[in-house]
A and B are shown apart, each in its own frame.
Chain A
Amino acid sequence: MYGADVEQIAIQLNEDPQKLADFEARIARGEKIEPGDWMPAEYRRQLIRMISQHAHSEVVGMLPEGAWITRAPSLRRKLILLAKVQDEAGHGQYLYHAAETLGATREEMLDALLDGKAKYSSIFNYHTTSWADNGAIGWLVDGAAILNQTMLARCSYGPYSRAMVRICMEENFHRKQGQEMIILYSQGTPIQRAMVQDAITRWWWPTLMMFGPHDADSPNSGVLIRWGIKTRTNDELRQEFINQLVPDLQACGIVLPDPNLHYDEASGNWRTGPIDWDEFWSVLKGNGPANAERMAARRLAHADGAWVREAAAAYAAKNQQQVN
């Protein structure tokens, strides 16, 4: 037996209503869907879309901070940054794996990224113009990502959820090293304090945009929540982030670039002024400050790695010949 709404969705999606009802019942019981299980084509399509975009974001996400590895101010900071960028590469690999379990190939996903057809998080299309940006990225950008990823660690698709558990654990190191850096500099010399203020001023609004459009303008949210891929909305996550960050940043003596920011006693929430969604859509469409640069760097890295791939293939071929 299944309800009228299941019947309606099954017709819309051209799925068997009984199978769809069983699938939704499994999700309602908190079961994870695994690669061999039946799933609606739309569930598979949405997951491939989300996971591959997420994987691309990790890969492109290496670039803004990677640019600072050679200029880190101390050996400790250099080790931290190297490890962090290496982690992002690993996260990309975990996520491509999760998407592959749904039938997408790694090759087609990488091609889509290199051809400029794939989306990735808007945040990585901003420049890192000072050293303190690495702290801002850690505390703000990785902090925002962790909220989203903690939710996704509970998602209904087994391989995605397991990749997220691992990623969240490692991202916590990313967030905390950034927060530590910002706290220390915010209590440091006038130059350090100015550097931190400038970094937060530039990264604050783009970070709030990372959570995606307002719920009313988020076309995929309904089905993603119905099938347990997302369990919270963009606006809920954004509000939690704002409530966490505002008091801590203010305690550091940092002024947020929002004259409308205020505490709403009635709801217990910090309220921001309006987000500039034109900027968000423009960056997403490829017109952000660093979109072209990021894609060029990604293509160059892929081309520069060609000899490694050729050497690996030649080595494997030689070993195979010796066996034969």
Chain B
Amino acid sequence: MDTQWPRYMVFQQEGPDQPMVHNGTVHAPDAELAMLNARDVFVRRPEAVQLWVVLADVIFTQTQEELEKAEPVDQSTSQLVDYYVFGKFTQQAQCRHIGQVQASSPQVAVAAAIATFADKQPLWWWVFPASTVLKNESSESDPMFSAARYKTFKDQAEYPVITMMRELRAKANHKDTENTK
């Protein structure tokens, strides 16, 4: 039996000039607690200025393969809502924010995104209604994200092991030379 809490997709912005990028998911009983879990799971490194959580079920995705097989959508203009549009641009990349469109359904939102962002050709489209997103309060950004910022001991560059090994070998060679004298 599936009794687990719903999945929330987590999006993270790593710097003021960076786009929102998908990271992974957390499970939580509601969006507020999903936000707290997302912060604990994904912001252990100093690289976040904004977090979004969205119920995984409301995200509509289409890969190139799915688009080829998709039926034409009814471009109804009734009850337009805002959709966020995300896309995956290289094989290795995560989905990242492209922009926003208005549409009456997720299928229409993908069609609208393809028309609106004709210069972008992502390998994978993701759309979801803007109203379904919980964004962290900007006034809370600092307490949420700054704790990780000064923990430089989490950075591999803090450990100069290559230099240490070189010095160790130099010392050993020096000893060998001394011994043969």
Contact = CB atoms under 8 A, between A and B. Distances in A.
B27 A183 contact: no
A86 interface: yes
Nearest to A319: B30
A40 interface: no
Interface string B120-152: 000110000000000000000000000000010
B168 A173 contact: no
Interface string A109-149: 00000000000000000000000000000000000000000
A276 B122 CA distance: 50
B29 A36 contact: no
Contact of A100 (B7, B92, B123): B7
A172 B94 CA distance: 21
A71 B29 CA distance: 36
Given A31-B91, A93-B24, A312-B28, A183 B33 contact: no
A263 interface: no
Contacts of B161: 176, 179-180, 183
A31 B124 CA distance: 12
Contact of B153 (A79, A172, A252): A79
B4 interface: yes
Contacts of A79: 151, 153
A83 B156 contact: no
B164 A30 contact: no
Contacts of B151: 79, 83
Contacts of B168: 183, 187, 251-252
Interface in A74-129: 76, 79-80, 83, 86-87, 90, 93-94, 97-98, 100, 105-107
A175 to B, nearest CB: 8
Contacts of B28: 312, 316
Given A36-B61, A107-B2, A251-B168, A100 B41 contact: no
Contacts of B88: 34, 158
Interface in B23-59: 24-30, 32-33, 41-42, 44-45
B65 interface: yes
B62 A316 contact: no
Contact of B92 (A87, A90, A165, A187): A165
B24 A105 contact: no
A36 B24 contact: no
Contact of A312 (B24, B29, B41, B169): B29
B176 interface: no
B44 A90 contact: yes
B91 A32 contact: yes
A234 interface: no
A312 B159 contact: no
B4 A251 contact: no
A94 B27 CA distance: 12
Nearest to A110: B4
A158 B154 CA distance: 26
Contacts of B123: 34
A183 B165 contact: yes
A162 B92 contact: yes
Given A36-B62, A37-B63, A183-B164, A107 B159 contact: no
A106 B44 contact: no
B92 to A, nearest CB: 7
A242 B14 CA distance: 37
Contacts of A316: 28-30, 32-33
A248 B30 contact: no
A316 B154 CA distance: 33
B178 interface: no
Interface of B: 2-5, 7, 24-30, 32-33, 41-42, 44-45, 61-63, 65-66, 88, 91-94, 123-124, 151, 153-156, 158-161, 164-165, 168-169, 172
Interface of A: 30-32, 34-38, 76, 79-80, 83, 86-87, 90, 93-94, 97-98, 100, 105-107, 158, 161-163, 165, 170, 172-173, 175-177, 179-180, 183, 187, 248, 251-252, 312-313, 315-317, 319-320
6 contacts: A83-B151, A83-B153, A87-B44, A173-B154, A180-B160, A316-B33
Given A79-B151, A83-B153, 5 more contacts: A107-B3, A162-B94, A170-B154, A179-B161, A316-B29
**Top 9 closest pairs, chain A to chain B, by CB:** A316-B29, A176-B159, A316-B30, A107-B4, A172-B156, A97-B24, A173-B156, A32-B91, A179-B161
